[in-house]
Amino acid sequence: MNFKFDKDIVIIVVIGCLLMAGWMLYMPKYQAKRAAEYQEMLKATQQNAAQSATASPSSATPATVVTSAGGEQPSAAETAAETVPGLKETKTVVLENSLFRVTVDGLTGSISSAKLLDPRYKLKDSGEAIELFREGACRTFELKSDSALVPVSLDVRENGPLSAEVVRTFSNGLKLVQTFTLPEDDYMVHCKYAWTNPGSAAVTVSGLGIRLAGLPQVKDLTGDKVYSERLNVDFCKVDGGRCISSDPQVKSQEKFDKKTACDSPVAWVGSTNKYFASLLFADENRPFASTYGERIWCFPAGSTNEKDLYAVPSMTGSFGSVTFAPGAPAPVEFMLKTYCGPKELSRIRALGPAVMGVMHISYYAWFEFIARPMVMLLNWLKGLCGSYGIAIILLTLIVRILFWPVTQKANSSMRRMSKLQPKIKELQEKYKETPMDTPDDTARKKAELNQKMMELYRVEKVNPVGGCLPILLQIPVFIALYSALDSAVELRNVPFLWCTDLSRPDLVGPTLPFALPFIGQVGLHPLVIAMTALMILQQKMTPSAADSTQQKMMMIMPIVMLFMFYNLPSGLTLYWTVSQIFSILQMKYGQIAAKRDEARQTSKPQKA
């Protein structure tokens, strides 16, 4: 390639050098700041550990704990057994339906484990069930209180595979009966709380709250190699009716507390990652009076690198101070529900319109309203054809057909602009600047050139931005489609052709014994290679008004994208490949139609 070392390339090189210099100056300061934050975090861990040694199992002290994936921190049940007099051991019961298996811990009255039984949601390497919650993390249905709620007696009663009761008496005399129930075919757990005060005096419990377990990131939870990750905490006000979300990874604890706190009635709280959701719904007749968030800082499996540290968030719904009258004729009752399972669109949608906010399909919230219908259409097409692979192909074709007129207009505009290039170059040569030109001459030539160019466009009926605007209109839809395919948990463990899993790269054969720059250790991914080859072909077919140097640089872009997207999930590369094939066929059709129109126009004078 004979690249022209012109002014534009010099500017690009200078900008690149300035960016590198700025990065070299910024990185040491950034690393020093992160190291200081990490030390503060470890210091907070030691302080919280000292506080936990004397705290009751229902303490309301927020947790900021650094743990490893191996679960070095003791579980809540173990901590409670050590600190509650007379109750050294807990009792557990296992409930199971067709979709998941949950373990109820009696000492804390909470769900200590939730394992998904659907084959699509098993660990890919071992085939074992996915365990949604980390050891040592907060637990759903666990009580929190500013007052001491210390269990002094415990009874766990199993009522079949779908129901159990946990009966506890606390040191303040209150008795609590929790009834856990599972439906036959849902990821929902119902928990009925029935409080009684058999004593002769009223008992007030201040800051009574119910915890919701948070979810770790997907790659730590399942071992999946995800292309993008999303951790969120969510809640919905009773009067607002919409989901309010925040990112738990903010470094400032003050910002996190502010974003997760709500002092008005709340209908539900949630913690979600890319594929799964943990949601806690208050009783319709007794919403949470307020909420607050907590987080536990964790290392991913097999890592102790400070850069990998991330926050597992959780939420607590608080009822405030509750007074239980003595010898009440009827217990104080309220029903809570928790959803702990995959973010399947049909299931989340059935929980209510506001709950749809936890889907977080698109990384950019403003594309969410387009991405959700894409997932709905994908699921509908799968039900129609029986295959998610074919559904992705059909979905891509539907979108491309809808944008056919817009794309066709853009291609036609680019062809007309390409034909005008000789006349444009002629005008540019005519009004070219010379070293002898004064500033006034330069300004005059530029003004005359612009005027002549506008006259040329008007005579030839060509819009200079006609090829760009239609493409820009398509970008939001294609980003939403991309997000929908990247976030759809329904594609996990789903095979298609040689792809063993549409949420993973389409690996054929073994991986390379060494790592490649920018890519890592990979193998042969046919769809990505085919996508790159099709992009190069499309670049060659696309009429361009750019100069030869820019055209050559554009030809490098597919190679750059090959390195950037080589490990893309096969569902996404299938979409891009089908889209490229459609674009090439549409471009070829446009070229044939243009030649046919030209031949028809040239034949008319001959007939006359």
Average pLDDT rounded to a whole number, residues 178-190 = 94
**For position 166, what pLDDT does the model report?**
95
| Most confident stretch, 189-193, 238-242, 325-329, 559-563 | 189-193
DSSP code string of 440-473: HHHHHHHHHHHHHHHHHHHHHT--TTTTTHHHHH
DSSP 75: P
Topology, domain 41-360: Beta-galactosidase; Chain A, domain 5 (2.70.98)
Range name among 69-73, 152-156, 489-493 with the lowest pLDDT average: 69-73
Provide mean pLDDT across the span 492-502: 87
Q: Quick check: 418 and 543 in contact, CB under 8 A?
A: yes
In sequence order, the β-bridge partners of residue 157 are 165
What confidence score (pLDDT) does residue 595 get? 76
Q: What's the pTM?
A: 0.76
CA nearest neighbour of 264 among 241, 245, 231, 295: 241
What amino acid occupies position 593? A
- Residue 394 confidence (pLDDT): 94
Per-residue pLDDT, 446: 80
* Tens digits of residue pLDDT in 424-472: 777 777 777 777 777 777 777 788 777 877 877 777 777 666 556 666 7
What is the domain partition of the chain in residue ranges?
A: 41-360, 361-412+471-601, 421-461
Residue for token pair 């489609």: 481
Q: How far is CA 8 from the centre of its chain?
A: 38
Radius of gyration of the chain (CA): 31
- Tens digits of per-residue pLDDT, 208-231? 999 999 998 888 888 877 777 888
Q: How far apart are CA 84 and CA 102, in angstroms?
A: 24
User: Please, what sign has the CA dihedral across residues 587, 589, 591, 593?
Assistant: negative
pLDDT above 90 coverage of the chain, percent: 27
Estimate the crossing angle of helix 388-402 against helix 368-385, to 10 degrees: 130
Contact 480, 419 (CB under 8 A): no
DSSP state of 259: H
Q: How far apart are CA 73 and CA 549, in angstroms?
A: 60
